[in-house]
């Protein structure tokens, strides 16, 4: 018996065993994670009623820095071994209290930019965050004395800092947009900087946001995937196609081969963005291509110029292939519903689909030839499927003809029988 079968059959037993197994360690220690570092700081602060003083200490239980060797003192200074509060929080003994906002990057960087130190805790963790941050718009604002700009804690939190991979973390992919939105969607806050605040709303309408939240594809890009995290800055116009190209590799590759690559580079204009937009990127449709309504080519090209002619031809070839494919799909489905064997037609339909998918990427080459190479294959596959559907219809007609012969025989028999009855009864 396979394990899976056994588990299926004995699922109650397995579930019980699992529950006991999970519960045992919990019984051995208190269910709540304890604050393991912090010494006397926590001993006092957890007893305090004032939320301002109590809550940070309580929140620290979940913090990634809550481990032996780290603790309150790492950021706040002071003496955690001292029993007397006066002595523990003596500024002369290095107690800092709440660090000033300008000091935070350096404070975090004190450890996180220290390769040797970080390696002790997390060997694979990068240590370039501070360096990157200093290049970011946020970092430069802070450096110039702007207290409203974001620092480490603006995104990562303060006393309950979680790993990026922790789904509860504000910097987990699905939460990044909310985290950035806290400032960037705030019109009052952004007013002095003269930057728009509708990016978040727009992004929430994009195909990327849908992939991230509806299809739960964590690899779908959110704010930081294009703008960077610690080195956050708007991507330069010339780098946009490279930003998009990190995921849409082939589209970028084909675009670079297209006649568009050079002029866009010369104009210093964001290539992908010109057709697809930026924050509100929708799932592309075939209507984007061509010179018709909703087509983006018409933005630059006239129908008379060679580019416009090519665009129109590319659009038309896609349209034709899609139309043929749709027709073939409908006819094959109809034949299948009628109970005809359409396996070969299904194979053709799949081939047509594949060629259409390929043709759509070739559009980025802006070459009619490249697109037609695939749309023509799609059309011929669709034609084969249509032929199969027509053959199925012919088969139905053949059956009809055969049954008509039987029908004729029956009618002759009926007439003969009626005559026979008359003859007998005469």
> Which one of 86-94, 121-129, 228-236, 400-408 is the stretch in contact with another protein (CB under 8 A)?
400-408
- Tell me: does residue 288 bind another protein (CB under 8 A): no
Which residues in 166-225 contact another protein (CB under 8 A)? 215, 217
Interface mask (CB under 8 A) for another protein, residues 301-340, using x and -? Answer: -----------------------------------xxxxx
The CB-side HSE value for 268 (13 A sphere, CA atoms) comes to 1
Give the residue with the Cβ less far from another protein, 199 or 317.
317
Give the residue with the Cβ less far from another protein, 189 or 412.
412
d(CA 310, CA 260): 13
Give the residue with the Cβ less far from another protein, 57 or 345.
345
d(CA 69, CA 160): 17
Q: Where are the alpha helices (DSSP H) in 172-267?
A: 173-184, 187-190, 199-204, 207-213, 223-227, 240-245, 249-256, 261-267
For residue 422, the minimal CB distance to another protein (Å) is: 10
Which residues in 340-399 contact another protein (CB under 8 A)? 340-341, 343-344, 346-347, 350, 353-354, 357-358, 361, 396, 399
Q: Where are the alpha helices (DSSP H) in 152-198?
A: 152-156, 173-184, 187-190
- Tell me: does residue 114 bind another protein (CB under 8 A): no
d(CA 235, CA 226): 7
For residue 50, the minimal CB distance to another protein (Å) is: 49
d(CA 3, CA 191): 62
d(CA 47, CA 55): 10
d(CA 49, CA 135): 42
The DSSP call for residue 297 is: G
The DSSP call for residue 32 is: S
> Which one of 17-25, 222-230, 363-371, 411-419 is the stretch in contact with another protein (CB under 8 A)?
411-419
For residue 74, the minimal CB distance to another protein (Å) is: 38
Which residues in 134-173 contact another protein (CB under 8 A)? none
What is the binding site for another protein (CB under 8 A)?
A: 215, 217, 247, 249-250, 336-341, 343-344, 346-347, 350, 353-354, 357-358, 361, 396, 399-400, 403-407, 409-414, 416-421, 423-425
């Amino acid at each position: 018996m396979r394990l899976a079968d056994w588990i299926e059959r004995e699922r109650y037993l397995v579930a019980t065993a699992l529950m006991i197994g999970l519960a045992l360690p919990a019984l051995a220690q208190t269910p709540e994670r304890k604050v393991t570092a912090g010494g006397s700081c926590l001993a006092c602060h957890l007893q305090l009623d004032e939320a301002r003083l109590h809550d940070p200490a309580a929140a620290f239980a979940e913090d990634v820095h809550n481990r032996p060797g780290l603790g309150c003192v790492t950021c706040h200074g002071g003496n955690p071994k001292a029993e007397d509060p006066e002595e523990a929080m003596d500024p002369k003994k290095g107690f800092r209290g709440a660090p000033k906002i300008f000091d935070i990057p350096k404070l975090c960087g004190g450890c996180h930019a220290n390769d040797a130190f970080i390696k002790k805790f997390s060997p694979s963790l990068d240590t370039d965050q501070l360096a990157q941050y200093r290049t970011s718009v946020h970092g430069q604002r802070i450096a110039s004395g702007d207290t409203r700009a974001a620092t480490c804690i603006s995104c990562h939190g303060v006393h309950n800092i979680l790993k990026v991979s922790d789904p509860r973390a504000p910097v987990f992919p699905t939460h990044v947009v909310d985290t950035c939105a806290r400032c960037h969607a705030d019109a009052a806050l952004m007013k002095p900087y003269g930057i728009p605040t509708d990016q978040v709303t727009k992004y929430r309408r994009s195909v990327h946001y849908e992939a991230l939240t509806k299809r739960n594809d964590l690899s779908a890009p959110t704010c930081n995937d294009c703008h960077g995290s610690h080195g956050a800055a708007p991507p330069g116009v010339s780098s946009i196609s490279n930003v998009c190209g990190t995921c849409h590799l082939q589209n970028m590759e084909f675009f670079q081969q297209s006649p568009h690559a050079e002029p866009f580079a010369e104009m210093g204009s964001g290539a992908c963005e010109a057709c697809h937009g930026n924050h509100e990127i929708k799932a592309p449709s075939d209507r984007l291509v061509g010179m018709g309504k909703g087509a983006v080519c018409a933005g630059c090209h006239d129908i008379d110029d060679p580019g416009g002619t090519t665009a129109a031809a590319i659009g038309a070839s896609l349209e034709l292939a899609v139309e043929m494919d749709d027709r073939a799909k409908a006819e094959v489905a109809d034949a299948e519903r009628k109970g005809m064997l359409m396996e070969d037609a299904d194979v053709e339909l799949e081939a047509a689909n594949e060629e259409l998918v390929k043709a759509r990427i070739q559009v980025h080459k802006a070459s009619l030839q490249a697109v037609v190479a695939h749309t023509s294959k799609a059309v011929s596959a669709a034609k084969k499927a249509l032929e199969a559907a027509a053959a199925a219809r012919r088969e139905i007609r053949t059956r009809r003809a055969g049954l008509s012969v039987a029908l004729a025989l029956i009618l002759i028999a009926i007439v003969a029988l009626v005559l026979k009855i008359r003859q007998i009864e005469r």
